Amino acid sequence: MLDRPIRRVPTLRDITVANVFFEPSTRTRISFELAEKRLSADTVNFSVSGSSVSKGETLKDTALNIEAMKVDMVVLRHRSPGAAVFLTRCIDAVIINAGDGAHEHPTQALLDMLTLTDIHPSIEGRNVSIIGDIAHSRVARSNIYGLRALGAHVTLCAPGTMTPVGIEEMGVRVTDRLDEALESCDVAMALRVQLERQEAVLFPGVREYHERFGITLEHMERYPDLRIMHPGPVNRGVELAGDVVDHERAVILDQVTNGVAVRMAVLYLLADRGAEPAS
């Protein structure tokens, strides 16, 4: 539908969606809003700056007030793990988790699965390496669930200080050697180092991090079938060399494109519009 001249269907025209973002976002926020508009929903956008949260209003009271204005669905991004589940206990509106702290980012994982199937139609048996700040990454956790459910072999690669204790129990292999993670994988998902969530210094410096865990043009030449994914935002020169971000085997912008379609599907399904999806 997104490739047609008229990229809009009336499917959700009687639905109102509030995009409530307590943390910064570019991709998730814009793609949810576009998805809502493509489905003809009414949308309202809420961010902390300029709202009464800055005057001390709680998440629950904010949500109750939004619901009192007859909002049907809330897309929530929040710094606290569990914030989306918490809201489901406070209000009757449908809640969609757009990222809760370092916990989960379900729609990111869904769009990543779609992007993977564009590269390899079956994910089962494929090798996917997730490389970077695993400890603070909601994207890593949601992708591990998705990839394991679809039968992929998952390797995590990070400094020991960014690898959660016991993560192997999620059915993944762990290494701190980048080449070990890259040599056997079909697709590498690089993650941003989330300095804003780190309470201690977890690595000596950006240059050393890039030398040990950054994917470079040299790696792309050494592994000629390797594809690169990244949820964004990218720190060029840290987890990925700038040349790798722009490389023809990087599908980072395809992930963003797929995000709109996936979020349309999520909105459609959670709005419970009957059996047949919009064509």
The least distance separating ligand CP from the CB of residue 26, rounded to whole angstroms, comes to: 4
For 159-224, the three-class secondary structure string (H helix, E strand, C coil) is CHHHCCCCHHHHCCEEECCHHHHHHCCCEEEECCCCHHHCCCCCCCCHHHHHHHHCECHHHHHHCC
Q: Binders of ligand CP: how many residues, by CB under 6 A? A: 11
Collapse the DSSP code of 13 into the 3-class scheme (helix H, G, I; strand E, B; otherwise coil) and give the result: coil
Tokens of 113: 């699965």
β-strands 73-78, 16-21 pairing: parallel
Provide the 8-state DSSP code for 1: -
Q: Contact between 143 and ligand CP (CB under 6 A)?
A: no
The least distance separating ligand CP from the CB of residue 12, rounded to whole angstroms, comes to: 21
Q: Contact between 43 and ligand CP (CB under 6 A)?
A: no
Nearer to ligand CP, 153 or 227 (CB): 227
143 vs 112: CA distance, rounded Å: 8
Q: Contact between 28 and ligand CP (CB under 6 A)?
A: yes
Nearer to ligand CP, 105 or 153 (CB): 105
Nearer to ligand CP, 10 or 82 (CB): 82
Residues 99-118 that bind ligand CP (CB under 6 A): 99, 105, 108
Q: Contact between 97 and ligand CP (CB under 6 A)?
A: no
Q: Contact between 142 and ligand CP (CB under 6 A)?
A: no
5 vs 267: CA distance, rounded Å: 22
Residues of this chain that bind ligand CP (CB under 6 A):
25-29, 99, 105, 108, 231-233
